[in-house]
Every structure is written in structure tokens, then in C-alpha cells.
């Protein structure tokens, strides 16, 4: 057997020393998440609103009020708002909402006009809108209880394609839309190229399908005005892979957990519990509950297989849910299908 060599005479064998903890490299990112992000994930407020609450002295961490959002917190920290403990973070959820004409996409309006939040079902949790639709626009508006999802879908770098059905006054020719396809500069503001197809002429009006990957204020209306046409109806039919389907004005539909997880790349454990029904603004159920009553197995899908063409407006004011003929969509304007080739989501289970 081999023996451990003895230490040289006169020198004691070195003692084993405990390992020192590895020091964090200088400039390393602090642990945890920014306080505003944590408040947003808990469904309390959007990040911007959370920062405002912090500035007003309404937020405390470990019993001490804070006045700056430049603070990272972890699960060990005790956070309270107006003296009440921060509620547990909800699982991320998403809804499709058909925004009617005449509602403001805002939490409150300085002119006292009705907002979408005044008309949403009372049993809805606190939600935020993904982007906006102006007062006279209608169609698909995404809602979520998660500030991270909202930010992800709104970022220009994400490149989600928004597709619209647009009615303009006049008799345009296809070549009239060349400036929009190249990209415009209006009053010093750069508009990225749009996809535009001329679908059909209907009396004094023409129907178009327009696709864009930005979301600037009144972008389509301003672009059309710049080339000499006025928009008299604008309906959003899809946002990325999510489609309006057969929803009617004012109706809400919660997306299935698997659809949201796959399309947004959420982790398995973040799957959305879909157990409560969604109601329309009239108080009647807008669809079957996403889960079954107690005593029966959960998990029945809330909708049929997805992927049908989004609903097209008929061109008649006041009945936007009907199909407007069989006009072809703009080339390249089909919604992106993320999540490894998943088919578009948003088919209404009631139809």
C-alpha cells in the first residue's frame, strides 16, 4: 500500500484551511427584482403607476417607507402598500376584448368620458391593456394582469404584427399606397413600412387590410391622411398570434393557459389557472367557464382548435362582427405564429 509522504523534518504538516466564500465580482447585478416590477407582477399596478405610488410614500419595505423605485427586493423582504401587506403574485393571465367605438383606452379620462374599465365585467381582476386603440377605433384589445407580459408585447423589438381592416373614403388605386409600403416621415416622425392591400371597392368607400409592427398614436389614420385619404372605420382583427375571431363589441374571452404559455414562452410553473367565467358588459355570461364546477375534473379547453381566419367587418356601420366577403388578406400580413409554429389563438368558444 502506498503511504502518504511524511512532511519534511522540522516542519509540521499544513493544516487544511476552510474555503473562503467567493466574493461577488465588482459591479455584479444585485439580487432580486426592482420594486416596481414586483408590484406590477402582483397585479397592484403597472410599473409606471407603481413608481408613482412609491414617490407618494405609499410603499414600505421591511417597515420603512421608500421614496425611490431604485431598489431591488427579494422574497425575504416584507412589502406593504398603504399599510397592507402586498398580495401574493397572481399567475399571469390574458384576455381578448372587443373594444367598441366610443370608449377611451385609459384608467381614467380627464374629460369624463367612459373608459373600457367602466364597461369591463365586474368579476374581472385588475387588468392592464396591451397598447391602445383610440376613441373611434374598435376591435381586438389584449388585457393582462401581468406587467411583464404587457411590456413584452408592447416593445418595438418584439415585432408583433398588428393587422387591421380599414375603410377609407375614395377610389384609390393600389399604387397610391406605395409611400406607406416604403415608410413615411410625417411632421418629423418616422413611420415604419406597412403592408397594405386593396381588398374591394364599396360605393364611395374602399376596404383595405393594413399590417404594421409599431403602435404609434393614430398611425394608420395619419398615414392615410398624408396620402390624401380619410379613414371612416378602423377595426383591429389581430395582434401577433392572437385574433379577434367571432367576438362581438364589448365581449371578453380569457385565453387558455397553454396558449398563453406557448405563445409567450412562459415557464411550465407559470401556467395560468383558468377557473372563473368571463362576462360581458351586459352581465350575461360571455362564454363557458374556463374550468368545470367542483366535483368534476378540471382542464376542459375553453375554446375550439384555433386558427380560423379573423372576423372581417361587413362594411355596414354598427355590425362589425360579420364577414366582409372573401377579400384576401394583405400579403405578409398574416399574424406571426410564435412558439414553434403554433397556430393563431383566439377562436371564441361560443361560436
Half-sphere exposure of 326 (CA within 13 A, CB side): 0
Q: How far is CA 148 from CA 88, 99, 249, in A?
A: 16, 22, 27
Question: Cell for 329?
Answer: 388578406
Q: Shortest CA distance to 129 belongs to which of 117, 119, 144?
A: 144
Q: Are 314 and 322 in contact (CB under 8 A)?
A: yes
**Catalytic residue numbers, as ranges:** 134
**With left for phi above 0 and alpha for psi between -120 and 50, is residue 87 left, alpha or beta?**
beta
Residues with Cβ within 8 Å of 10's Cβ and at least 6 positions away in sequence, in order, are none
Question: Cell for 14?
Answer: 499544513
Distance CA 247, CA 346 (A): 9
Q: What DSSP string runs through 171-209? A: ---GGGGHHHHH-EEETTEEE---EEEEEEEETTEEEEE
Q: Shortest CA distance to 170 belongs to which of 232, 252, 88?
A: 232
Q: Are 286 and 278 in contact (CB under 8 A)?
A: yes
Q: DSSP state, 54?
A: H
Amino acid at each position: 500500500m502506498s503511504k502518504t509522504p511524511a512532511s519534511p523534518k522540522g516542519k509540521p504538516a499544513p493544516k487544511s484551511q476552510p474555503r473562503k466564500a467567493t466574493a461577488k465580482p465588482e459591479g455584479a447585478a444585485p439580487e432580486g427584482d426592482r420594486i416596481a416590477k414586483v408590484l406590477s407582477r402582483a397585479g397592484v399596478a403597472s410599473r409606471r403607476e407603481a413608481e408613482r405610488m412609491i414617490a407618494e410614500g405609499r410603499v414600505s419595505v421591511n417597515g420603512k417607507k421608500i421614496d425611490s423605485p431604485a431598489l431591488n427586493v427579494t422574497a425575504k423582504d416584507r412589502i406593504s402598500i398603504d399599510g397592507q401587506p402586498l398580495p401574493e403574485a397572481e399567475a399571469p393571465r390574458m384576455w381578448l376584448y372587443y373594444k367598441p367605438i366610443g370608449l377611451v383606452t385609459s384608467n381614467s379620462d380627464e374629460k369624463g368620458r367612459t373608459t373600457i374599465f367602466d364597461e369591463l365585467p365586474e368579476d374581472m381582476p385588475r387588468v392592464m391593456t396591451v397598447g391602445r386603440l383610440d376613441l373611434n377605433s374598435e376591435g381586438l384589445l389584449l388585457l393582462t394582469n401581468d406587467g411583464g407580459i404587457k411590456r413584452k408585447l408592447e416593445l418595438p423589438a418584439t415585432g408583433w404584427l398588428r393587422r387591421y381592416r380599414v375603410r377609407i373614403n375614395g377610389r384609390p388605386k393600389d399604387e397610391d399606397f406605395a409611400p406607406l409600403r416604403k415608410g413615411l416621415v410625417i411632421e418629423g416622425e418616422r413611420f415604419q413600412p406597412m403592408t397594405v392591400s386593396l381588398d374591394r371597392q364599396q360605393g364611395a368607400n374602399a376596404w383595405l387590410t393594413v399590417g404594421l409592427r409599431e403602435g404609434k398614436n393614430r398611425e394608420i389614420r395619419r398615414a392615410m391622411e398624408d396620402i390624401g385619404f380619410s379613414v371612416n372605420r378602423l377595426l383591429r382583427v389581430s395582434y401577433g398570434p392572437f385574433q379577434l375571431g367571432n367576438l362581438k363589441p364589448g365581449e371578453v374571452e380569457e385565453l387558455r393557459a397553454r396558449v398563453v404559455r406557448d405563445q409567450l414562452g412562459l415557464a411550465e410553473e407559470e401556467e395560468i389557472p383558468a377557473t372563473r367565467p368571463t362576462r360581458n358588459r351586459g352581465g350575461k355570461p360571455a362564454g363557458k367557464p374556463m374550468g368545470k364546477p367542483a366535483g368534476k375534473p378540471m382542464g376542459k379547453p375553453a375554446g375550439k382548435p384555433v386558427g380560423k381566419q379573423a372576423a372581417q367587418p361587413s362594411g355596414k356601420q354598427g355590425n362589425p362582427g360579420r364577414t366582409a366577403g372573401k377579400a384576401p388578406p394583405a400579403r405578409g400580413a398574416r399574424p406571426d405564429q410564435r412558439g414553434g409554429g403554433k397556430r393563431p389563438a383566439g377562436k371564441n368558444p361560443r361560436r
